[in-house]
Amino acid sequence: MNAPLKKLHIKTYGCQMNVYDSERMIDILRPLGYEVSDVADGADLVLLNTCHIREKAAEKVYSEIGRLKELRGEKEARGEGRMTIAVAGCVAQAEGIEIMHRAPAVDLVIGPQAYHQLPELIARTHRAKGERLAADFAPEAKFDALTSDRTVTGPTAFLTVQEGCDKFCTFCVVPYTRGAEWSRPVAAILDEAQALAAKGVRELTLLGQNVNAFNGVGSDGQPSTLAKLMYALADIPGIDRLRYTTSHPNDMGDDLIAAHRDLGAAMPYLHLPVQSGSDKILRAMNRKHGRQAYFDLVARIKAARPDLALSGDFIVGFPGETDKDFEDTLDLVRQVGYASAFTFKYSPRPGTPAASMPNQVPEAVMDERLQTLNALIIEQQQAFKATLVGKTLDILFEKPGRRDNQAIGRSPYLQSVYVEDARHLIGQIVPVRIVAVGNNSLQGALLETVSA
Ligand code: 5AD
Ligand code: SF4
C-alpha cells in the first residue's frame, strides 16, 4: 500500500528565480510523498521561499512565521501531527542564524543553493532537533542533483540558466545572498528545455540575476553567450518563444542585440533596468554606465528590432538623490518610453555600501517621488497598450479564463490577453485581434469572430 500523502504548502516571495526554485523544490519533494496544498492550514510541511531584496520583503517572512505558529498549534491540537516550518531563499541565506534566534518556531533554514538537500534535511529535523541550518554557495551541486524531468503546469516555463551577480550595485544584497555569477552548462539547459518541450511547453523565460552575462560552457568546451544559447534553444522543436530576465545594460552584447533582429523566437520585449536617470546617482549606485550609454544602447536595440518594447526597474530616493536627480529619472523615462516598469523606494540593506551613505532621503520625499514616477509609468503603460488596439498579435494561450469558454493568453509584450471562445486553443499560438485595453490586460478576439 502507498504511504498516505503529506501536504506541502509553499509560499513564494520575490523574483521569478524564486518561482523557479519553488517549482523545483516541489519536484524534489513529490517523490517523498508530498502533494501541494494551496493553504498552509493543515500542511505537514510549510516552505517559505523568501526574498531579501528590500526590508519589507524580509519582514513579511517574520509575520508569516507568527501566523504559521498558530496554525501549527491548531493542527497539533486536532491530533494531526506536527507542521514542519522551513525557511528557504535569500532571507535564509542572509539571516540564517538570526532566523533561528528570532523565530524559534522555524525547524529548518535552507539557502538558495542548498535546496537539493531538502529531503535529507527534512528527515533530520524529524529525527532530532538542533541540526537545522544549511546554506552554501555551490550552484553546481544543486543543479547536478536536480533531474531535468519537471512538472509542467502550462505552455510557459521558467528555466534558470545563470545565478549570482558580480556587479555589486551599492544598494543590492544579491551579490551577497546569491553569490558570484555562475552559468549552467549549455548541455544541461538544453536537456531541461527538451524535456519541457516534450511536455508541451512553447515559451521559455530564461532566468538569471544577470542573465545576459551568461557564459555557460558549450559543447565545444568554450563559453557560450546568451545569444548562442537562444539559437540552440530555438532549434528544439516546440520551443517557439524565448524571453530572458534580468539583464544588465553593460552585458547587452552585439550578438544578443542581433538575435533580437534575426531570431524569430526572441520576443520583442526586454526587461532592461536602469534604476536612475541621473549620472551622479548611477555613479553612486556603481551601475558602471551613465544615462547617455543607456540611451545609445536602447537606440541600438530598437534599430535592430523596431517593435521591441522595454520594461525597467527604478529606485527612487537613493542616498543623495536631489529633486534635480529625480527630474533626470523622469526625463529618462519620458525619453525612453516604457511598456511597463517596476518602481521601488530605496530600502537600506544591512551590509551594502549605500546603507551607510550620508544624505539618506526622508520617507515622505520618497513617497512623493514614487507617486510621481508611478503616475508617469502608468500613463506610458496605458498609452503603449492603446497602440496595440486594432493590431493582430500572436497570442500563446495559457489557461482558462473565468468566463465560459474564455481563455487567457500572453501577447509578445507579456500582457495578459482575454479572448472568448478560445479554450480549445490553450497551448497554441494563434493570431488574435486586440479589441480593447483593460487596466492590467488586453481584450482580444479570434480572427474568424472579428470577421463574422
Ligand atoms: N532598495 C530598493 N530597491 C532595490 N532593488 C534592489 N535592491 C534594492 C534596494 N535596496 C530593486 C532594483 C532591482 C530590483 C530587482 O529590485 O530595482 O532591479
Ligand atoms: Fe543587484 Fe546590481 Fe547585481 Fe542587479 S546587477 S543583482 S541590482 S548588484
Each residue's pLDDT tens digit, 81-95: 989 999 999 888 888
At residue 251, the 3 state secondary structure works out as helix
Ligand 2 pocket list (CB less than 6 A): 165, 167-169, 172, 174-175, 209-210, 248
* Mutation test residue for ligand 1: of 17, 54, 356, the one with most atoms within 8 Å of CB: 54
pTM for this predicted structure: 0.92
pLDDT band at 247 (very low <50, low <70, confident <90, very high): very high
Q: Considering every ligand atom, which ligand is closest to the CA of 352?
A: 1
In this prediction, residue 3 carries a pLDDT of: 59
How far is C-alpha 40 from the chain's CA centre?
23
Residue 5 neighbours by CB distance under 10 Å: 12
pLDDT at 2: 55
Q: Assign 80 to helix, strand or coil.
A: coil
428 phi/psi in degrees, rounded to 5: -110, 160
- For residue 354, give the ligand 1 atom closest to its CA: 10
Half-sphere exposure of 63 (CA within 13 A, CB side): 6
Beta strands 392-400; 407-410: pairing state: antiparallel
Residue range 362-412, pLDDT digits in tens: 999 999 999 999 999 999 999 999 999 999 999 999 999 999 999 999 999
Ligand nearest to the CA of 321: 1
Ligand 1 atom 13 nearest Cα = 313
The pLDDT of residue 104 is: 87
